[in-house]
Amino acid sequence: MPGESMLATAVREVGEEIGAEVAVTRKLSDVSYRIDTGRKTVSFWAMRYLRESGEPDDEVDKVEWLPPKAARKLLTYDLERRVLAEFAALPPPDAVLILVRHARAGKRSEWRGDDYERPLDLSGERQAQRLVPFLRAFAPERVYAAEPKRCVQTVEPFADSLGVPVKTRPEFSDACYSDAPDESETAIRALAKPGRVSVVCSQGQTIPGVIDRLVPGVASTETRKGSAWVLSFVDGTVVSADYYDDPF
C-alpha cells in the first residue's frame, strides 16, 4: 500500500493470506533474483502467530502448519530453503525488546530550561507518529521510557494507540547509565521475561552501551535518533539483534 513500510506490508500480507494476526520477532535475510522486468528483492522476517482473524484470502489454496523439516520438502527454490534453514537455526524467541532512541528534539545548546524538559521538535513529533506502525508490527504490550520528556513523547503516540501508559524508569536514562551502567543493563534484562514484548525509549549513550553489553561483538552500535534495535531473547540471552536505521 502507498506509504507503507516493508515491515508493515509483510505483517499485513501474511495476516491477510493466512487469516491470522501475526507479530514480527527477528529479521531474516533478503533474497534477490532476476525476473523479466529486472531484479526482485524479497525481505523475510520470522513471525509468531497471535490469533485467528478471519479466512485466508483467495490467493491461498490451503493453510497448513508444518515443522521446518517437513516444510523444506515442499519448497521449490534453493533461495527459499536457505531462508528456512536460517529461521530453523535458532529457537523461537520467548521475549522481544524494542529499544528506541528518542526522536529529534532540537539542539541542546538552544534550550534554556532543564534539559529533562526539552521536548521533541516538529520533526521529532513526525518521527514519533511514524513509529506507531513500526512498533505495532511487533505487538508490544508494555511501553517504557527514560525520564526526559523527549523520551516519553517519542513513544506516547504508540502507547496511546494501545491504551496503555508510558512507564518511566530512571535506569533507562543516560544520567543513570553514566553513573551505574550495571543498573541500566539489569533493568533492561528484567523486561525480557518469557511471553513479554516491550518497548523502551532511551538515549544516545545508554542504548549503544547496553547493546555492547548484551550483544558482544556487534559490528556497530551507532543508534540514530528515532531508530531502533529489536532484541530477541531465549532464556534471557539475546539470540538476535536487528538494527532498524530508518523504521519508517
The pLDDT tens digits of the residues spanning 187-246 come to 999 999 999 999 999 999 999 999 999 999 898 999 999 999 999 999 999 999 999 997
Domains of the chain (ranges; CATH) run 6-88 (3.90.79.10), 95-244 (3.40.50.1240)
Query: What per-residue confidence (pLDDT) applies to 34?
Result: 87
Q: Is residue 149 over pLDDT 80? A: yes
Amino acid at 170: P
Amino acid at 14: V
Cα–Cα distances (Å) from 40 to 10, 16, 101, 212, in that order, read 16, 22, 32, 35
129-142 tens-digit pLDDT: 999 999 999 999 99
- Return mean pLDDT, the chain: 93
Q: State the pTM of this model.
A: 0.93
Specify the pLDDT at position 248.
65
Q: What is the mean pLDDT of residues 27-39?
A: 90
Helices (H), the chain: 6-18, 68-74, 78-88, 122-136, 149-162, 174-179, 181-190, 206-214
pLDDT of residue 1: 67
